[in-house]
Amino acid sequence: MRYMMIVLLEFYPSWLALPREERRRYASSLQEIMQTYEEHVKVRFFDAEALPGKDYTDFVICETDDMKSYHFMWEEIRDSIPYTKGYMKIKDVIMGMENAFQSYEKEKLELDN
């Protein structure tokens, strides 16, 4: 089954107070973590701070059929300096399953699609 997660993030003013070069280094380290999992988790990163986002500044769209890899990726991100130093926080996760009703009908009810 294919899963889609929209992870709402908030980067705090302490992040913006860092020199841009330092932010770029930290952002690169986050990208490296995500690239480690790219075989199993497709990740897209969006900046939303200049747009009407009430409780978030950025969001990440993750797509996977391997929840274990998705979870491990976020565990590594939560262990990273930007997260542990309090520069960012996961605010919310919106999750869904692609065409889950069709899987239910096919697998559980044995209906043809």
Whole-number pLDDT of residue 80:
97
Q: Which residue has the tokens 């300096």?
A: 81
| Nearest in space to 73 (alpha carbons), one of 93, 52, 100, 101 | 93
Whole-number pLDDT of residue 19:
98
Domains and CATH numbers, the chain: 3-107 (3.30.70.1030)
Q: Which residue has the tokens 């399953």?
A: 97
Identify the segments of the chain with pLDDT beneath 50.
none
CB under 8 A, 24+ apart: contacts of 103-109: 103/1
DSSP SS3 for 64: strand
The amino acid at 66 = D
| pTM for the full predicted model | 0.88
Distance CA 31, CA 26 (A): 9
Distance CA 94, CA 102 (A): 20
